[in-house]
Amino acid sequence: SSGINAEWPLRPGHYLLYHLVSAIQPRMLVTFNEELKPLPVPVRVGQAVDVVGQAGKPKTITGFQTHTTPVLLAHGERAELGTNEYTPLTPIMEGFVILRKNEEMEE
C-alpha cells in the first residue's frame, strides 16, 4: 500500500476538506492607487529576514529580484517597494495594497 488513503475524503468527516479548500489562497501582491485602479510599480521580492529587535530601519529582505506588480510570493518571501515615488497605506506588503503618491518626491 502507498500510505495514502484515497477513501478519506468520502468518510463522514468530509466537511473538513471543504473548510481546508476554502482557506487556500495564493500569496500575492497587487497594488492600487487611491481611486482603486491597478497601479503597476516596481517591487523587490526576496527571502524574508527577521528584523525584530534590530535598531534603525534594517533591510527586511535579502537576495531580492525586482518585478512589476502584480506578483506572486513564494513561501518565505517578502516584498518591498522598489521606488520612493509611492508610499503604502498599510505596513504589510501582501495581498491588495493601496499606494499614495509620495509628496516628498514632488518637492
Q: What are the pLDDT digits (tens) for 35-86?
A: 999 999 999 888 888 777 767 777 777 788 899 989 988 888 888 888 888 9
Could you tell me how many residues make up the chain?
Answer: 107
Band (pLDDT 50/70/90 cuts) for residue 12 is low
**DSSP annotation of 38:** B
Nearest to 39 by CA among 105, 103, 89, 73: 89
C-alpha cell at 35: 481611486
Above 60 in pLDDT, residue 22? yes
Integer Cα distance of 8 and 3 in angstroms:
12
In this prediction, what percent of the chain has a pLDDT beyond 70? 83
Q: What are phi and psi of 40, to 5 degrees?
A: -75, 120
3-state DSSP assignment of residue 41? coil
